A and B are shown apart, each in its own frame.
Chain A
Amino acid sequence: MRNLYWVIAAAVLAIIVHISMVLFAPGFLFERNLNRMASDVPDNTFFILPGPAQTAIFPEYPGGTVFGLCRFNLTSGPVTLDANLPDGIWTLTVYSRFGRTLYTVTDEQSGVDKFSLQLAMAPSIFDVFSLKEDENEIEASGWKVLSSDERGFAVFWVPALDRAMREGLSETLSKSSCGKATS
């Protein structure tokens, strides 16, 4: 009977370790990795991912590919992402800080290479019930992504035919910006 107690305890501990390993550890490991590679870049700032960091985070893409990142922090209000993308294939993916996909868009879906995307906190259940009618209106212009996580990152992906094109694509993409929304 006493041994049965310890068998059950071991099983419960195994379940806790299993869930932690799958749900929590990967996100924290990834966030730590991202912090280490972009430690000198403040939040809500757009930057082109340097080659070595790109190889580590996106090993399946060749060196000519350009990745632009914005690590957003919504604690002090919404953030606006102004995208300036080259002609051709590109994608934008918005992730939570633990790597969960929140939003995606491609050149085919958007039809434009310049656009603004507003990132804001999703309202809590309390906010949903306490909102006044005019506060609940959907904004008429631009695109809006609501995140339940106050931190996350947006990734622009632009492929290149070869490494020689990387500089030109980087120059175009670097005209994008990411910052606190003005209104």
Chain B
Amino acid sequence: MARVSVKIFSVLCGVVGGWASALSFIDSVGSKPADAAGNWRMWDLAAGTASNPYGRAHFLMEGRVPPAQSLFQVYTNSLDDDGDSLSSGCVYKIAANGLESRWWSLSVGPLNSEDSGASAAVTSDEVVRGPDSSLNVAMARFPVAGNWIRPAAEGTLTLQLVVSNTDTESGLKLPSVQRVSC
């Protein structure tokens, strides 16, 4: 009886350990810190022999198409500037200076495809900039004047910034994320 228990325990440990380590590695090895504070993470989606299977798995597991790294850089952030998790119950101000890429998109997840009223993304095509070319986007569940993204789901949130690759080499300054109220 004891031997059977050891066998079952070993198999369970192997399956759960392999599964948990894969999920953990997909997040940690598939991306790397992209700014000094380490809140924004850049996903490694290189093609060919340099491809990172963990980075690709992050997108494919959710049924999403991984953007080609030769075209876009993908950054995600689930923390505000104070290091707290982003929450749907709070209002945030996302501010950037010098986000001058040819095309970019700032979105908030997770997505809820049944929430047709969600405006979970804003792009460089539609954003309104300040006179000094600065950029401010509010993230809140209720309408806010100016640039606004609305989370489609409740709970913890993740921001995603997709930037076309044409001028990222010149030094992209990633937006700050400040909590305004909760």
Q: In the complex, A160→B15 CA distance in Å? A: 46
CB <8 Å contact, B15 and A13: yes
Binds A, one of B20-28, B33-41, B86-94, B173-181: B20-28
Cβ of B142 under 8 Å from chain A: no
* Chain A interface residue bracket vs B: 35 or more
CB <8 Å contact, B102 and A89: yes
CB <8 Å contact, A106 and B64: no
Q: How far is the CB of B92 from chain A (nearest CB, A)?
A: 18
Cβ of A155 under 8 Å from chain B: yes
Q: Which residues of A contact B26 (CB under 8 A)?
A: 22
Cβ of B56 under 8 Å from chain A: yes
CB <8 Å contact, B125 and A57: no
- Give B9-62 interface residues, CB cut-off 8 Å to A: 9-11, 13-15, 17-19, 21-23, 25-26, 45, 47, 51, 53-54, 56-57, 59-61
What residue of chain A has the Cβ atom nearest to residue B109's Cβ? A59
Q: Which residues of B contact A3 (CB under 8 A)?
A: 6
CB <8 Å contact, A162 and B126: yes
Cβ of A102 under 8 Å from chain B: yes
Cβ of A23 under 8 Å from chain B: yes
Q: How far is the CB of B76 from chain A (nearest CB, A)?
A: 10
Given A60-B160, A93-B68, A102-B47, does the pair A29, B14 have CB atoms closer than 8 Å?
Answer: no
Cβ of A181 under 8 Å from chain B: no
What residue of chain B has the Cβ atom nearest to residue A69's Cβ? B65
Cβ of B135 under 8 Å from chain A: no
Q: In the complex, A7→B51 CA distance in Å? A: 32
Cβ of B170 under 8 Å from chain A: no
Main secondary structure of the interface of A (DSSP, over half): helix
Taking a contact as CB atoms closer than 8 A, the residue among A22, A93, A106, A161 that contacts B53 in the complex is A22
Cβ of A84 under 8 Å from chain B: no
Q: Which residues of A contact B15 (CB under 8 A)?
A: 13-14, 17
Cβ of A16 under 8 Å from chain B: yes
Cβ of B85 under 8 Å from chain A: no
Taking a contact as CB atoms closer than 8 A, the residue among B14, B56, B113, B126 that contacts A100 in the complex is B56
Q: In the complex, A3→B9 CA distance in Å? A: 11
Q: Which residues of B contact A59 (CB under 8 A)?
A: 64, 107, 109, 111, 120-121
Cβ of A55 under 8 Å from chain B: yes
Q: In the complex, A27→B64 CA distance in Å? A: 10
Given A7-B10, A59-B107, A159-B123, does the pair A21, B18 have CB atoms closer than 8 Å?
Answer: yes
Q: Which residues of A contact B11 (CB under 8 A)?
A: 10, 13
Q: How far is the CB of B157 from chain A (nearest CB, A)?
A: 13
Taking a contact as CB atoms closer than 8 A, the residue among A17, A26, A58 that contacts B61 in the complex is A26
A-contacting residues of B (Cβ < 8 Å)? 3, 6-7, 9-11, 13-15, 17-19, 21-23, 25-26, 45, 47, 51, 53-54, 56-57, 59-61, 63-71, 74, 102-103, 105, 107, 109, 111, 113, 120-123, 125-126, 160, 162, 164, 166
**Between-chain CB contacts (< 8 Å), 22 pairs:** A2-B3, A7-B10, A13-B15, A18-B19, A18-B25, A21-B18, A22-B57, A29-B61, A55-B111, A56-B64, A60-B121, A60-B162, A62-B105, A95-B65, A99-B60, A100-B47, A100-B51, A101-B47, A101-B51, A101-B70, A104-B71, A159-B125
